[in-house]
Structure 1
C-alpha cells in the first residue's frame, strides 16, 4: 500500500465526520413545506377540502339538529311535567264498549298521590262546522267534548288567544278550539263576533289553544262547558278521558291503582297511560333515525377522503422534479414523506374546519327557525375534526410513501 493510500485510509473517519448531516425540519418548517402544494394549486385544494367539509358538515348538522330537537323536547317535558296520567275506558271481555262511572273523577281524586284531576267527555253525534252551509260529511275529523274548568292546569294546555271556560261561561254556548281544530276551521282568533256551529247550535269562540303535547286529542277538539254540553247537546255526563297529576316520586304507585279506582266494577277494561312515555319513545325513534343519517354523513366523509387521496397522488406525480431536486440537495426520505403527509393533514384540516363552521351554522339556523335551543355536543365537533385528521393521514400515507421511494436521478429525469 502506498503512502497516499495509507494517508487516505487514515483520513477516512475524518472525512465521514466532516460530511454534512441532513438538517432537521422543525414543526414550523414542516407546516411551511406542506403548505406549498396547497398554495400553488388553489382550485384543486378548494375542491378537495370541500369534499371533506361536506362530510363533516353533514355529520355535525345531523347530530346538532337531533340534539337541539331533544333539548327542546326535554325543555317541554320539564315545563309540562312527566307526572300526567290518563284514564280511558276500554272494552269488555265480550268486545263491547265500557263507560267510566259518573263517580270516576271523585274516586280518582281520593287517591293519595293524585294532586289534581280533570276530564273531558265526548259528545256523540255532534260535529263542529264553520258555517251551516257545509255538508255534514265534511266534519274534518273534529270532535266535540265537554270539558272541566280545571283541564288546562292539569294537562298543561296553554291558550294562544282568548280565554278558557269558567263556571259562568261553561253554562252557555261558548267553545274553546284546539290548535288543529282552529286551523281546519279557518279561525285565527277568538272573539264575541266569531261563531261556529256545534251540534246544530251556534257557539261563540271563547278561546284557541296552543298544541298540547301531552294531550294531543285536545288539538282536534271543540271544547265546551260540562253544563252547556248537557243542556244544549244532550251530553250524558260520562267522562271519556280522565287526566290525573300525581306526585312526581309516586307516579308509578298512582298508575297501579288508577284503573281499579276509576272503575271498580270492571278494572280490567280501563286503559291507563303516561303520555310522556310516548314522547320518550318518539325521541328513541329520532335517535335511530339520527344513526341512519350519521351513516350517510360517514359515506360523504369517506368520499371526501378518497378525493384527498386522489389529489395527493396527482400531486406526487406532478412534483417528481421537485422531489428529485430536494433529494439531490440532501433531503431524506423521511423528510419527503413528512412533507406530503403534512400536506394531506393540512388539506384535511382545512376541510374539517370549514365543515365544522358549515355544520354549526346550519344547526343554529335550523334550530332558530324552529324555536329550539341550538345544541352541538362538544364530542361531535371534536370527534369530527379528529376523524378528519385520521382520514387525512390515511389518505396521504400512500402518496407520501410513494414520493419518498422515488430515486433522485429518476425524479430529476422526469420532464
Structure 2
C-alpha cells in the first residue's frame, strides 16, 4: 500500500461522559472563579424562584381563604336617589331578604351617630376612625366572623349598654380583654367581647357593635340598617343578586347597591399576578447579569488556556470538540448556579411562608424552568468564547508571545 493511499486516522469522538468530564476539569482548576461566576446566576435564579414561590403561596392562602369563607355572601347597602341625596333602607330590609327562597340567612348592621373613646376625658373629636354600629344578634354566623374573647350580643345583653369591639377598634382603644368599659355615646358601655378580623366584612374590624334595641334606646338609632349581609346557596348567587335590589326597595331598586365581598379577594389574586410579573422581570434581569459574568469568565478562560487548546488541537482534536468543551463548561457553570439558586429560592419561600403561616406552594415547573433558563443563559453566554477557542489554530494557540 502506497503512502498516497494511506488514510489519516479518524479523530476520536467524545462521548457525552467525556464531554462532561472535560468541561468539569476547567471548573475544578479555577474553583474560586467558578463559584463567583455561578453566584451571579444563583442570585438571579433564587430571586425568580422566590418571587414565584412567595406569590404562589400567597395566592394559595387567598384561595383557601375564599374557599373557607365562601363566595355566597352578598351585601346590600343604600345608594343615592335621583336627587343626589342618600337613600335609606327600610327597617325590615333583612327580614324581606330572608324571604327569598335560596337565601340561607340574612342579617344587618346600622350606622349610628355615636362615637366611642377609651374614657370620658378624651376630646370628643378624637374618634380613631372607629364607627359605632347597631348589630343583629346573628351577625357573626352570616358574615363568618369569630370571637377572639368573650361573647357576642344576644337577647339578654343586646338590650343593655354592652359593646363588642372589632379587631382594629379594640387595638386603637387599647382594650385587650373583655370586662372593661368604654365611653360610648356619652355614657359607659361594658365590653363583653372582642372579634378576630373578618375578611369578608372588614368594616366590622373598625367598629364598636352594640345591640339593635340598645342602639335605639341609648344612642338615638333610627332602626334603619345601612348594610344587609345575605348568605345564599352557592348555586343561586347570581339569581339572588339580581332580585335583592327590587326586594329591598321595590319602588326604587336603583337606590340599592348590591355587592359580593369575595370579589375583592379575587381582585387581590389578579393584582398579585401583575405584581409578581414585575418582580419576575427584575429577577430575569439579575439572571442576565449573571450570564454576562459567565461570558466574561469564559473569555478569560480561553485566553489563559491557549496552550491547552493548542496542545489538544495538535493531538488531533477538531474545532467542534474544542467548541463543545468550552460550551459544556459554560452550560455546566450556569446550570450549577441555577440548581443552587433554585434551592436557595425554595428555602427562602419556605421560610417566608412558614413565618406568615401560609401554605408552602411552589410549582415544580418553576424550579425546573429556572434551572433550564440558567442553562440556556450559560449556553448563550458561552457561544462567543467557545467559538473563539475553536477558531484558534494549533500554531496560534501554542504561541506564547
**Superposition TM-score tier, normalisation by shorter sequence:** over 0.9
Report the Cα offset of residue 346 of structure 1: 0.8
Secondary structure (helix, strand or coil) at the match of 2:83 reads coil
**What is the aligned partner in structure 1 of residue 83 from structure 2?**
94
Secondary structure (helix, strand or coil) at the match of 2:33 reads helix
Structure 1 residues 337-348: aligned runs within 5 Å: 337-348=323-334
Q: Structure 2 regions of 5+ residues with no counterpart?
A: none
- 1:64 corresponds, among 48, 53, 65, to 53
Q: Is residue 326 of structure 1 aligned with residue 344 of structure 2? A: no
Report the Cα offset of residue 189 of structure 1: 2.1
User: Residue deviations 1:33-88, cap 9 Å, x none?
Assistant: 10112111122111111111111111111111111111001111111100000000
What is the alpha-carbon distance in structure 1 between the residues aligned to residue 168 and residue 319 of structure 2?
A: 71
- 1:186 corresponds, among 165, 174, 190, to 174
Q: Is residue 130 of structure 1 aligned with residue 130 of structure 2? A: no
**How many residues in Structure 1 have an aligned counterpart in Structure 2?**
401
Report the Cα offset of residue 11 of structure 1: 4.2
Report the Cα offset of residue 328 of structure 1: 1.3
**What is the aligned partner in structure 2 of residue 108 from structure 1?**
97
**What is the aligned partner in structure 1 of residue 143 from structure 2?**
155
**What is the aligned partner in structure 1 of residue 372 from structure 2?**
386
**What is the aligned partner in structure 1 of residue 387 from structure 2?**
401
**What is the aligned partner in structure 2 of residue 32 from structure 1?**
21
- 2:42 corresponds, among 44, 53, 58, to 53
**What is the aligned partner in structure 1 of residue 258 from structure 2?**
272
Q: Structure 1 regions of 5+ residues with no counterpart?
A: 1-6
- 1:220 corresponds, among 203, 206, 219, to 206
Report the Cα offset of residue 158 of structure 1: 1.4
Preserved CA contact (<8 Å) 2:132 2:207: yes
Tell me the TM-score normalized by structure 1.
0.94
Preserved CA contact (<8 Å) 2:335 2:372: no
**What is the aligned partner in structure 2 of residue 304 from structure 1?**
290
- 2:165 corresponds, among 168, 173, 177, to 177
Preserved CA contact (<8 Å) 2:75 2:228: yes
**What is the aligned partner in structure 2 of residue 207 from structure 1?**
193
- 1:295 corresponds, among 281, 284, 300, to 281
What is the alpha-carbon distance in structure 2 between the residues aligned to residue 93 and residue 47 of structure 1?
A: 70
- CA RMSD between the two structures: 1.2
Q: Is residue 73 of structure 1 aligned with residue 62 of structure 2? A: yes
Secondary structure (helix, strand or coil) at the match of 1:206 reads strand
Secondary structure (helix, strand or coil) at the match of 2:208 reads strand
What is the alpha-carbon distance in structure 2 between the residues aligned to residue 203 and residue 80 of structure 1?
A: 31
**What is the aligned partner in structure 2 of residue 4 from structure 1?**
none
- 2:338 corresponds, among 352, 372, 375, to 352
Report the Cα offset of residue 364 of structure 1: 0.8
What is the alpha-carbon distance in structure 1 between the residues aligned to residue 252 and residue 376 of structure 2?
A: 64
Secondary structure (helix, strand or coil) at the match of 2:10 reads coil
Q: 4+ residue runs of structure 1 moved beyond 3 angstroms?
A: none
Preserved CA contact (<8 Å) 2:145 2:197: yes
**What is the aligned partner in structure 1 of residue 4 from structure 2?**
12
Report the Cα offset of residue 385 of structure 1: 1.1
Q: Which has the larger radius of gyration?
A: 1
Tell me the TM-score normalized by structure 2.
0.98
